[in-house]
Amino acid sequence: MKVHILDDWYDTLRALPGFAALEGHEVTVWTDRLTDETELADRLSEADAVVLYRDRTAITPSLAARLTGPKLIAMRGQHSHVDAEALARAGILFCAHKAKDGPSTSTAELAFGLIIAALRYLPEQIASARAGQWQGGAPLGRNVGGRVLGLYGYGRIAGAVAGFARAFGMTVQVWASDEGRARAKAEGAHVPESREAFFASSDVISLHKRLTPETRGEISQADLMAMSPESVLVNTSRAGLIAPGALHAALEAGRIGRAALDVFDGEPITDPADPLLSHPRVIPTPHVGFVTAEELDRQFRDIYALINAYAGGAPQHMVNPEVWSPEQR
């Protein structure tokens, strides 16, 4: 089959061991980013299967209607950016591996690394040392141990972060769905009496919810303004969980001490003057929570398995199974 992989911006996948699973297929890896749907559809006109690199390209109804070549769209993880019904109308099978076998350790590691970096002012300390200022050139850091970590959302990644936090002597509290709060309490986390108490009493808040139409913008400016002026907000989930402009307003008002962000609205962010990217109390990273050799190889092996299962006549993890028939291949 002709397999096209989209949005591998840094051309990392071909060097990973799992790429060998695509031997026997004619593989094209696209390292640029096309936003024009007509151009993208033309590019994919000869593809039999298209691999999505997470949510870097959205499959909208208009794009699905333009796709004349692909018979299969494959990806791993949540897929709120893909209109599966539109793909079904276009006769294109959509397979998505939900990856319920364990947490993204790499994302949990980054989240906790950002907590340490923010509390200990590591970017400032590094800049100070390189400028020849040996101590005293950056704000005084604070201990991680003894702080209260608030986890907003309690899925697999949040659970892994909770384990790291306890190992460092932090107290863990959780605000999540009813089911999430019950599970967190059963696993030894504290659950505050109210959402307001959660935001007000956490020294560090780390966000761990999926972005859906229901969760988009659910963290309001009022939530953030309830936080301590010395508090830290860490977001390795999705920027859209926070209401537009709310985080910048809270930082400007001094209601959040620092923010450490791996996710931004409108990625990729290439404007150095972006209000959050350039803010002096923001530690930015370019959405690398999942970007390690081990994590990428694990994720894309699952996608390549979807390609091979389809090629073998037994597709797996079908989201719109009504499309499938053996004659489709």
Domain 2-101+293-328: CATH superfamily is: NAD(P)-binding Rossmann-like Domain (3.40.50.720)
CA distance 315 to 162: 36
Residues above pLDDT 90, as percent of the chain: 92
pLDDT digits (tens, 9 = 90+) for 220-262: 999 999 999 999 999 999 999 999 999 999 999 999 999 999 9
pLDDT digits (tens, 9 = 90+) for 303-329: 999 999 999 999 999 999 999 988 766
CA distance 142 to 133: 20
Q: Give the burial string for 82-96 (b: 16+ CB within 10 Å, else e).
A: bbbebbbebebbbbb
pTM of the full structure: 0.89
The distance from CA 45 to its chain's CA centroid, rounded to whole angstroms, is 29
Say which DSSP state 262 is in.
S
Domain map of the chain by residue range?
Answer: 2-101+293-328, 105-284
Q: How much is the pLDDT for 103?
A: 60
Task: Give me the chain's average pLDDT, please.
Answer: 95
- CATH number of 105-284, picked from 3.40.50.720, 3.40.50.80, 3.40.1390.10, 3.30.930.10: 3.40.50.720
Q: How much is the pLDDT for 137?
A: 85
Average pLDDT over residues 26-49: 97
pLDDT digits (tens, 9 = 90+) for 17-34: 999 999 999 999 999 999
Tokens of 49: 């299967």
